[in-house]
Amino acid sequence: MRAFIVDAFTDRPFAGNPAGVCLLDKPADATWMQRVAAEFNLSETAFVHRTAENTYGLRWFTPTVEVDLCGHATLATAHVLHTVRSAAPDAALHFTTLSGVLTARRHDQGAISLDFPTDVPTATPVPPLLAQALGAEPQWTGRARHDLLVELPDAATVRDLNPDIAALADFSGRAVIVTASAPNDADHDFVSRVFAPAAGIPEDPVTGAAHCVLAPHWAERLGRTTLNGVQLSPRGGRVGVELRDDRVTLLGQAVTVFTGELTP
């Protein structure tokens, strides 16, 4: 079967977030998929099979666990289907997932939009010892469905953060998202970084699912529903967001960096 590595939420190779994409002829055994994801050792590997015209089953695995939502691996999958399977440029691709049906559409210059559910964080008291684990003082914290969102004073604090990764595993079921506004940057509105040691990912380079949390948070803070975010990991990446009630559109690009065949 064909396998790919795609850098997502970037327009150039070796940036953004790399995802594995495996094209299946039919659903595969979960234990086997988990082993393949561990072999790829990327933050997520996507497994996709066609179920009807422009409709696919899609699952995502980190090196250690299956996850119920992944933005960058969905973007990577849509990119592969458009470039390899020759899906019609204007066709919407529908993915049946553990988070319901997700839709991807191709736009000009290779950009792809994803229709995802929002995940609105609820304000909570700052957890004890969180500041010590982060190495920075939180300004605000909130709980989303799986993640802890932490707002820090400014973009420089987010960029320079050097947290105790092991300690952060105690503060969230999936990830700790740190963020700050970027009022002095003309091309983006907020910044973020994402740490997910509980899911086997010390730091995720660019995280689509985190922007389902960040979009409603910053839309409320900044009074706008269309925003641009930059994830300040060492690889870096950009995610455009547009909030629409309980849905959010994520916009990004992707680049294939590896193609090959996977032995069953």
* Contact predicate 197/167, CB 8 Å: no
Strand ranges (E), 25-65: 44-52, 55-61
* Contact predicate 239/250, CB 8 Å: yes
Could you give the 3-state DSSP secondary structure of residue 253? Answer: coil
Residue 44 is among the residues annotated as catalytic for this protein? yes
Could you give the 3-state DSSP secondary structure of residue 115? Answer: strand
Tell me the chain's radius of gyration from C-alpha atoms. Answer: 18
Tell me which of 39, 44, 203, 242 is the catalytic residue: 44
Buried-state track 118-136, b at ≥16 Cβ within 10 A, e below 16: bbbbeeeeebeebeebbeb
Side chain identity, residue 117? P
* Contact predicate 169/211, CB 8 Å: no
Pairwise CA distance, residues 84 & 45, whole Å:
17
| C-beta pairs of 33-41 under 8 Å, 24+ apart in sequence | 33/59, 33/61, 33/66, 34/61, 34/64, 34/65, 34/66, 36/61, 36/262, 37/61, 37/62, 37/63, 38/63, 38/64, 40/5
How many helices and strands, by DSSP H and E, does the chain display?
Answer: 6, 18
Active centre residues (catalytic):
44
